[in-house]
A and B are shown apart, each in its own frame.
Chain A
Amino acid sequence: MRLPFPRRRKKQLEDFSPLDLSQQNAQQRVKLKTSAKANAERLQELVGKNADFHLRELVIPTSPQVVAQICFIETLTDSNLFDRQILRPLLEREKQLTLKELPGDTLSKKIGSNLIHSAKVRELKYEDEVLSNIFYGGVIIFLEGSEIALAVGLKRVPERGITEPQDEAARRGPHQGFTECLSSNMALVRMRLKTGKLRFESFRVGRLSKTDGAVVYIEGIANPALVEEARRRIRSLDVDMVEDNSILEMLIQDHPKMVFPTTFYTERPDLAASSLAEGRIAILLENSPTCLIVPANFYDFFKTAEDNYLRWPFTAFLRVARILAGLIALWAPAIYIAITTFHHEMLPTPLALSIAAARENVPFPAFLEVFSMELVLELVFEAGVRLPSPVGQTIGIVGAVVLGQAAVSAQLVSPILVIVVAISAIASFMVPLYVREQGVRLLRFPVMILGATMGLYGIMAGMAAIVAVQCAITSFGQPYMTPLAPLWPGTLQDLLFRSSHWQADARPGWLRTVDRRRQAEIVRDWEKDGANPDGEVDLSGE
């Protein structure tokens, strides 16, 4: 269901200027000319005066000789490869190639297949193709007399090595993280799923950025309608720039105005692979070290990669702790305000007395006390997060320890309150995903206001509203609260207690995967074959 919140009408852009050629349709596309010189000059004109654009004329020593114009952008091409794969074979005189009077097109083909020592050779017919290829690190070869240009892919872009994921570190499990390089990201996924059913459907978004990306799914598992929906959404995008996956996320998610994230992301290829195996869809994007995973539900944001690698009782404990932490982070300050100003009878007697005693000399009402402390905490956090780590730590110490201590001894706030605020802050960091935590941190303030004005009644009203909205929103058309509401009985156990691997026979029902079963009925087959039913292995050799 679509959330029927009022939508603003899209403003028509007055002066719509086609920024580049690829946007024009085929009829308007300009074909290449037969003259290599003219083509090269046209390209120079399109690219403009650029320091890294190179144009070179070659004479290929075939019989008869062919004049070629070679264009490339130096900063995007690998000069070693250029030398080895293009220059040397083209200019070598030993292995002569005899070309009789061939028509121009066949000429290009022949040269492309015989002389270029590269796997990635493409034939281009149109100007826009040439232009986009050159920006993808292609070396363009115009041949005199041919309408077809050759593009050799020699891309070499600045990239970093594969490092450990920063935000999703795990003690157990692989330590590889995605990088900014699309092809290596694809490799990281591919090497975990060695099946012919794994599909990378490439796409390109952004008028200016022309960012490459891939929709990844496993055919025969992922629901085709879901894949089609992802395709449809991405294909329809018309923006100038997609810097990062997060932008793409906002562009394709169902409810971009909500505070709740409805798409999941990960830096970990192992998590991406296991999500694919569950029947979800992953979206990789060039220049982005994360991988989007859709559809996602509310409970996914309480999971971490490590959950799969730990033994199930501990995972179950962690899941419960995390959900509790989420609740505490959101509601604890509000409930503190509500109880100390409205429902004094709820506190046990000694605690009521000690809170009253601690608040005796505090000049502010409980609400302002909490509100200001929460604000200060946000200040400390934001100040610390952008600073280099040694300085950041200092900020933390100054902010938390010194400021908190001083505020308490100056009797600006009560010590119990500091505990409440600190607990809610720690709890908000326990919820794994930063996005999720943003939602919690943001909603905490309105909820506090409700608690301060109407007590638990207001808090309940707020909770009802939040749950109502959460129940209404969808992630790629799938209800956000799904395994619980609407209920999918089979999946419910995985919500709190991740079942052990040998028991997790079915894929999440709510994904409506094509293939429901995950594994054989009996996974631990060795158990029945063992000589000794107790599982004891006799090593004495008797």
Chain B
Amino acid sequence: MRKSLLWLLLAVVPLLGGCWDAIEIENLKFIMVMGIDREPSGRVLVSLHAVNVEQLNVSTESSSSSGGELPYYLTTVRGRSLYEAFHNYFTRKHGRRGHFSHLQAIILGEEFAKDSLPECIDWLNRERELSVETEIFLARGRAYDLMKVKPIQERVSGSFIEGLETETANIGFVPTATVPILLTAFTTPGREAIIPLLEKGKLDLLGQGEKNETLQLGGAGVFRGSKFCGWLTPNETRGYLWITGKPRDPLVIVGMDERKVAFDVQEIKRKIKPHITGNKVRISVEMEARGEVAEIFGRGPHVDEAFFKEVGKRAADEIKQEIKNTIALAQRLGSDFIGFGEIVRGSTNNKKWKELDWRTQFPQVPVEVKVKGLVRRSGVAVEQLKAW
């Protein structure tokens, strides 16, 4: 009897445990997007898209275009540090804990990004709720202004930005900067951080003219160490992505006499080779782009193998130009966001690497670019149709 009582007691102990970490899911305030700005006073302004769960509930029952309120609201909090802002000040005003595990995007305002990247990186590394899929963006100007834009299709702005990023990265105009990618770029020797640029755009909706505000992606901001050092245009960004082999479905428009041919790149192979002689480094980039012809716009003679070969060659020239532009820009900015340094370092040892003094040498490093273009397929049609 006494023994069974003991066992019962042991069984009940977990019950006495209570629930320190338990929070009912509806008591959380899911934060979907977060914008970070530096105020002139030096304090941090954090703007947040908090999900309004109740609204989400109502609108799923009625149709989504019923003109109901948005299922999230925008709010701002200030603080001396990031964590203070949303931990102390947010909770005080909203009665619920902000929850970051479903944060989709973090937008860094230009002022903040200029010199506070390490502060942000530390938080990204330390925050335990943060998911690895959270993406980081830069804003030209204030992040808060971008946060005010209503998404046009998704009901929650976070999902909209996320979709925008995925698709734009596919066509090759923005780099991806999720937390692990950014953190490794920041810490790996011979590589600099690069963060996509999110900006406001105009959109024609239902024939109202280009009046509606929306968000658009394209281009990137690059850093040198922890300092922001310049912007990349969408095409320069693509130059970067060509070298790193990231984009899944980029398109190159090739001029063939009067015709414009759309060359859809489907497979990218590239090889970056460092040549080190003494303390001098030379880098050669070899790249091969294979793809198919997606469109031939304009009229012209017969389409044959020579035509495809020529398309490949001209597309290669296009790509080579983009790459060269990007490398020139990188060397002008003195920021090796492409990661040549990492490859150089990989082929030497740490002592040699220190001697090379990559950050000072990089702007003068000669880079040789070779691009091969290959039309592998002509798509679902070969010949152009012509009137008889």
Contact = CB atoms under 8 A, between A and B. Distances in A.
- The answer to whether A and B touch in the complex, with CB atoms under 8 Å apart, is yes
A355 interface: yes
B108 interface: no
Interface string B130-171: 010000000000000000000000001011000000000000
B19 A452 contact: yes
Nearest to B130: A345
A358 B26 CA distance: 8
**Which of B28, B54, B60, B102 has the most chain A CB atoms inside 10 A of its CB?**
B102
A342 interface: yes
B217 interface: no
A344 B25 contact: yes
Given A356-B30, A357-B56, A453 B17 contact: yes
A353 interface: yes
Nearest to B12: A449
A359 B101 contact: no
Contacts of A344: 23, 25, 28, 99, 101
B301 interface: no
A455 B21 CA distance: 8
Given A6-B3, A357-B56, A366 B104 contact: no
A360 B21 contact: no
Residue among B4, B21, B25, B54 facing the most chain A CB atoms (10 A cut-off): B25
A449 B14 contact: yes
A6 B15 CA distance: 24
B261 interface: no
Nearest to B101: A345
A303 to B, nearest CB: 32
Contacts of A342: 19, 21-23
Interface string A326-367: 000000000000001110110001101111111111100110
B14 A359 contact: no
Nearest to B59: A357
B129 interface: yes
A89 B11 CA distance: 72
A398 interface: no
Chain A, interface SS category? helix
Contacts of A362: 26
B26 A341 contact: no
Nearest to B2: A6
Contact of B56 (A6, A345, A353, A365): A353
B25 A352 contact: yes
B18 interface: yes
A360 B24 contact: no
A371 to B, nearest CB: 13
Given A341-B22, A455-B22, A353 B156 contact: yes
A450 interface: yes
How many residues of B sit at the interface, in one of the four size bands? 20 to 34
A379 interface: no
Contacts of A258: none
Interface string A158-174: 00000000000000000
A454 B99 contact: no
A453 B19 contact: yes
B188 to A, nearest CB: 27
B159 A349 contact: yes
Nearest to B60: A357
Given A345-B131, A450-B14, A340 B24 contact: yes
A453 B54 contact: no
B51 A454 contact: no
B21 A365 contact: no
Nearest to A461: B14
B148 to A, nearest CB: 22
Contacts of B17: 453-454, 458
Contact of B25 (A6, A341, A452, A461): A341
B65 interface: no
B277 interface: no
Contacts of B158: 349
Contacts, number: 83
A506 B129 CA distance: 53
A233 to B, nearest CB: 25
B53 interface: yes
Contact of A454 (B14, B30, B131, B156): B14
Interface string A109-128: 00000000000000000000
A440 to B, nearest CB: 19
A360 B129 contact: no
A366 B24 contact: yes
Contact of A449 (B3, B15, B57, B60): B15
Contact of B14 (A341, A350, A352, A458): A458
B22 A356 contact: no
Nearest to B58: A357
A516 B11 CA distance: 44
A461 B26 CA distance: 27
A497 B28 CA distance: 45
A359 B19 contact: no
Nearest to A8: B1
Interface string B1-45: 001100000010011011101111110101000000000000000
A243 B24 CA distance: 50
A365 B99 CA distance: 19
A360 B54 contact: yes
A446 B102 CA distance: 31
B53 A360 contact: yes
B19 A360 contact: no
Contacts of B159: 349-350
A381 to B, nearest CB: 26
Contacts of B4: 6
Interface in B68-123: 99, 101-102, 104
Interface in A436-468: 446, 449-450, 452-455, 458, 461
B227 to A, nearest CB: 33
Contacts of A361: 57
A360 B26 contact: yes
Contacts of A449: 14-15
Contacts of A455: 21-22
Contacts of A365: 24
A404 B79 CA distance: 47
Interface in A296-349: 340-342, 344-345, 349
Nearest to A457: B21
Contacts of B104: 349
B14 A355 contact: no
Given A345-B129, A349-B159, A353-B30, A453 B18 contact: yes
The residue among A6, A356, A450 with the most chain B CB atoms within 10 A of its own CB is: A356
A356 B18 contact: no
B102 A349 contact: yes
A340 B25 contact: yes
Interface string A1-24: 000001000000000000000000
Nearest to B51: A353
Contacts of B129: 345
Given A345-B131, A349-B159, A366 B25 contact: yes
A11 to B, nearest CB: 13
A341 B60 contact: no
B28 A356 contact: yes
B23 A341 contact: yes
A170 to B, nearest CB: 40
B298 to A, nearest CB: 44
A168 to B, nearest CB: 35
A357 to B, nearest CB: 4
* A-B complex: 3 closest residue pairs judged by Cβ atoms: A345-B101, A357-B57, A6-B3
Given A352-B102, A353-B56, A365-B24, 5 more contacts: A340-B24, A345-B102, A349-B158, A352-B25, A366-B24
